[in-house]
Structure 1
Amino acid sequence: MKKIFWVVALSVFVLSACVNNDSQSNTISTVELTERENALLTITSDKSFVFDFNSNGEFKVVSVWVEKYEFGKFVNDKVSSISTPVEENGTIIFATSKADGRQKQQTFNIGISGNGSTGSVSGFDENATDVDKMSSVWGDFQEESKSIDGEVVLASICYSSDESGMSSLSTDFYKDIEGHMSELDEYDVVYLLKAQFK
Structure 2
Amino acid sequence: MRKIGIRISFLLFLCLLAACSNETKVDNVLTNVELSDREKLLLASASDESFVFEFRAKDEYKQVSLWVDKYEFGKLTEEHIGRLTTEIEEKDLLILSISKIPLDEEMLIFNTIVGHGTSFSKVTAKQLSPTENQSIWGSNPLETIPISDQMVLATMCYAKGNGMSSLSSEFYMDIDNRISEMANYDVVYVLKSEFHQ
How far did residue 155 of structure 1 move?
Answer: 0.4
Counterpart CA distance in 1 for 2:188 and 2:58 is 33
Aligned counterparts, 1:124-139, within 5 A = 124-125=126-127, 128=128, 131-139=130-138
Of 11, 18, 23, 1:20 maps to 23
Give the unaligned 5+ runs of structure 2. none
Aligned counterparts, 1:23-102, within 5 A = 23-102=25-104
Counterpart CA distance in 1 for 2:96 and 2:132 is 22
The answer for the alignment partner of 1:140 in structure 2 is: 139
Amino acid at match of 1:179: N
Amino acid at match of 1:151: Q
Secondary structure of the corresponding residue to residue 104 of structure 2: coil
Does structure 2 retain, via aligned residues, the 8 Å contact 1:88–1:115? no
Amino acid at match of 2:38: R
Give the unaligned 5+ runs of structure 1. none
1:31-53 CA-to-partner distances (Å, cap 9, x unmatched) read 00000000111111011110001
- TM-score if structure 2 supplies the norm length? 0.93
Counterpart CA distance in 2 for 1:132 and 1:49 is 22
How far did residue 87 of structure 1 move?
Answer: 1.9
How far did residue 99 of structure 1 move?
Answer: 2.4
How far did residue 98 of structure 1 move?
Answer: 2.7
Deviates more, 1:185-194 or 1:115-124: 115-124
The answer for the alignment partner of 1:120 in structure 2 is: 122
1:85-141 CA-to-partner distances (Å, cap 9, x unmatched) read 00211001101113225344321011110365310010112xx35x14210000101
Structure 1 residue 165 corresponds to structure 2 residue 167: no
Q: 1:86/1:115 Cα in 2 relative to 1: closer, same or farther (>3 Å)?
A: farther
Deviates more, 1:28-37 or 1:99-108: 99-108
Does structure 1 retain, via aligned residues, the 8 Å contact 2:100–2:106? no
Does structure 2 retain, via aligned residues, the 8 Å contact 1:60–1:86? yes
Amino acid at match of 2:95: I
Q: 1:105/1:122 Cα in 2 relative to 1: closer, same or farther (>3 Å)?
A: same
Does structure 1 retain, via aligned residues, the 8 Å contact 2:155–2:190? yes
The alignment yields a C-alpha RMSD, in angstroms, of 1.4
1:9-42 CA-to-partner distances (Å, cap 9, x unmatched) read 0111111112215x21000010000000001111
How far did residue 79 of structure 1 move?
Answer: 1.9
Does structure 2 retain, via aligned residues, the 8 Å contact 1:27–1:146? yes
Q: Give percent identity, aligned residues only.
A: 35
Q: 1:138/1:16 Cα in 2 relative to 1: closer, same or farther (>3 Å)?
A: same
Of 180, 183, 187, 1:182 maps to 180
Secondary structure of the corresponding residue to residue 84 of structure 1: strand
Does structure 1 retain, via aligned residues, the 8 Å contact 2:22–2:33? no
Counterpart CA distance in 2 for 1:144 and 1:35 is 20
Structure 1 residue 5 corresponds to structure 2 residue 8: yes
Amino acid at match of 1:8: L
